[in-house]
Each structure stands twice: as C-alpha cells, then as structure tokens.
C-alpha cells in the first residue's frame, strides 16, 4: 500500500501460499533485499536471480546460490559506466535517500532551516554540512539548499568540489586526495584520517545539521565524526547518518535508532528509500527492467559474458563464484562446516 500499488494492479497474476512455492517454478526471480537461503534452495537449478545480494556480508547465501547453480545478478555490482546508468539501482536509491535525509533531520531540529525575517527580528539560516559527495550526498546538498540552508560539502575526492559548488554549496577542502576505483573513495591511511579530522573539526562544530553518506563497498562504513567532535557540536545539532546500515559514520550511531549523545541528536535510519516507497519502487523496477532486457532475447535467456555489464554484475553462475573476495569468504564457511562435521 505504501508504494501505492493496489490489488487491482495484480489481477491475472498467479499467487502462491509460500515464497518457496512461487520461486520453484520461476525462470527469473526478482527481489529487492537478499533472499533467504531457504528461498534460494527452493529455486530450480539454472534459474536467474536479480536482487541485492551483498555477497561479502552474506557468504551462506552465496554458497546456496553456488550450490543451486543459480545465475545471480547482484544489483550492487552494476558497473559505474555510462551505458549501465539506467540499471544502477544503488544510485537511484541513493538519490532518494539523499533527498530525504535533510527532511528527516529538519524534523528533529529545534530551529528552522531558512533565514526568516519577522516583526521582532531575523532568524539566521541553518548551516548544513554534507560529508561524502556521491549520489546521496549531492542529492542531500540539493535538498538542503532548496530548503534555504547554508550548505557545505566535503569529500576526499577533490573532483567533487565543482559538483558541490554547482548546487550552491561551499566545498570543504582538507588537502587529502583519496580517489579510488569505480567512482568510490579509497580507504584513508591513519595519517590522512588525522589530517582530515583536524581540518573538519571547525566545520563540524559550526554545523546545525550534518548528513553523512560515506561507504566503502563490502567494508564497514568509515568513521567520519569522532565522539570528541560530537561533544564540541552545538546544542540541538542533528546528525543524519546514512552510513548506518554499514555500521555508521559516527562513533555514536546506533543503526536503526535515534539517540542523544551529549548536545547532539544522532539518527541512524535503515532502508531510507522505503520511506519514499512509491518512487523507490518505480525507480528500482525500471533499473531491473533495463537489466533484464539486456540478456532476455525473444523470450529466451542469453548470457553474453563478453558484455561488461553482465560480466561485472553476475556473482554466481553454473556453480561458480565470480568474485575472488566473496569466494574466499564462502570458502571460510565451507571449511568451518567440514571441520564441524569431523
């Protein structure tokens, strides 16, 4: 209902009493969240799964996909290339999460975002600092600017400065360049982390709201704001931590909770796009449709592994795991199972 799809939209659709009964007959299974191991075991050998999988965090699931000879398209693995943009679900969902973050933060602030002039004086605009200027961060900057806030943006990739400035924000330059592969930032060294922390402390202390969006694929979210920096923030300041699903970008973040740490309210929202279910569903459906049309020709599945989108997105195929890091994670649980059986 929250996505506004009513019962009438499903007229003529076959239903099953259990997920297992449904997927057992399907050639292609579409999902959003990683499926359960039980659901994968119910799929017929050689079937195709399209879903977020997060293989490094779900080795038991990947083992089940391998053992079932399932061809698994992991949506988080869509390559960051021009021709794959229409299939990039991470970006489409991140844009919604970024849009929503300042709105969520504004509800928890004891003040307004824009400047306001009244008969008894003027209220100054709030300062919003966005840390991490990928798709989510830039979307957050745009929303905060539209709401009338003074906006600042920070990223370890200097090339994002122009993008932030085009949205009306001031770019915070720390002098550290951490450009990585695939459009992501690399992990900072301890020395670089100290340099960044020192340069950002003043901006953190002056912010009325901070939105953090930093993520490293397959790894815990990096800590951007320390407990010491939180203690130095303004009373009533709010942090919206979009990195909460990967552990959080702040030392005080509790995933799925809203907590008060000293003078600051820290929000650790999970599955933020679900708060905008209608558009989240529309965008994800289009992403998946564009991917399906890439390998379904004349009603038949035709996988071309010379296609960089297919090669980059498929995680398991014909009993093989196509990512070395994920394969090693699965081998660890395979070894544990063998030792336990001895």
How many Å apart are CA 70 and CA 26, to the nearest integer? Answer: 12
Any catalytic annotation for residue 85? yes
Any catalytic annotation for residue 184? yes
Any catalytic annotation for residue 11? no
Any catalytic annotation for residue 111? no
Residue among 51, 54, 77, 91 flagged as catalytic: 91
User: What tokens does 237 get?
Assistant: 């300041």
Residue among 88, 155, 208, 323 flagged as catalytic: 88
Residue among 36, 57, 67, 85 flagged as catalytic: 85
Q: Which of 80, 77, 57, 73 is nearest to 135 (CA)?
A: 80
φ, ψ at 278 (rounded to 5°): -60, -55
Any catalytic annotation for residue 88? yes
Residue among 184, 206, 226, 281 flagged as catalytic: 184
Name 211's Cβ contacts closer than 8 Å, sequence gap at least 6. 98, 101, 102, 105, 128, 129, 130, 131, 137, 140, 144, 239, 240, 242
Residue among 80, 111, 254, 327 flagged as catalytic: 80
Residues with catalytic roles:
80, 85, 88, 91, 184
């Amino acid at each position: 209902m929250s996505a506004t799809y009513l019962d009438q939209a499903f007229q003529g659709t076959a239903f099953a009493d259990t997920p297992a009964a449904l997927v057992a007959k399907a050639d292609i299974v579409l999902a959003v969240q990683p499926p359960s191991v039980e659901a994968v075991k119910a799929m017929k050998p050689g079937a195709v799964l399209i879903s977020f999988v997060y293989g490094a965090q779900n080795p038991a699931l990947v083992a089940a996909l391998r053992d079932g000879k399932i061809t698994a398209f992991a949506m988080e693995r869509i390559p960051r290339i021009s021709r794959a943009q229409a299939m990039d679900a991470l970006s489409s969902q991140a844009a919604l999460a970024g849009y929503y973050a300042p709105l969520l933060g504004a509800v928890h602030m004891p003040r307004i975002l824009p400047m306001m002039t009244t008969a008894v004086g003027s209220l100054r605009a709030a300062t919003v600092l966005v840390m991490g200027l990928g798709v989510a961060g830039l979307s957050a900057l745009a929303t905060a600017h539209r709401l009338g806030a003074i906006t600042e943006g920070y990223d370890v990739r200097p090339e994002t400065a122009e993008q932030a400035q085009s949205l009306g924000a001031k770019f915070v330059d720390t002098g550290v360049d951490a450009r990585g592969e695939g459009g992501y930032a690399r992990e900072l060294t301890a020395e670089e982390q100290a340099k960044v922390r020192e340069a950002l402390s003043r901006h953190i202390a002056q912010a009325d709201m901070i939105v953090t969006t930093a993520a490293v694929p397959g790894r815990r979210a990096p800590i951007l704001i320390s407990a010491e920096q939180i203690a130095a923030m303004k009373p009533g300041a709010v942090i919206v931590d979009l990195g909460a699903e990967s552990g959080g970008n702040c030392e005080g973040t509790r995933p799925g909770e809203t907590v008060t740490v000293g003078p600051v309210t820290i929000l650790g929202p999970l599955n933020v796009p679900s708060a905008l279910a209608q558009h989240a569903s529309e965008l994800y459906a289009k992403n998946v449709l564009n991917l399906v049309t890439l390998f379904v020709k004349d009603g038949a599945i035709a996988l071309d592994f010379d296609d960089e989108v297919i090669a980059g997105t498929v995680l398991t195929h014909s009993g093989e795991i196509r990512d070395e890091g994920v394969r090693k994670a699965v081998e660890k649980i395979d070894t544990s199972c063998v030792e336990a059986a001895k």
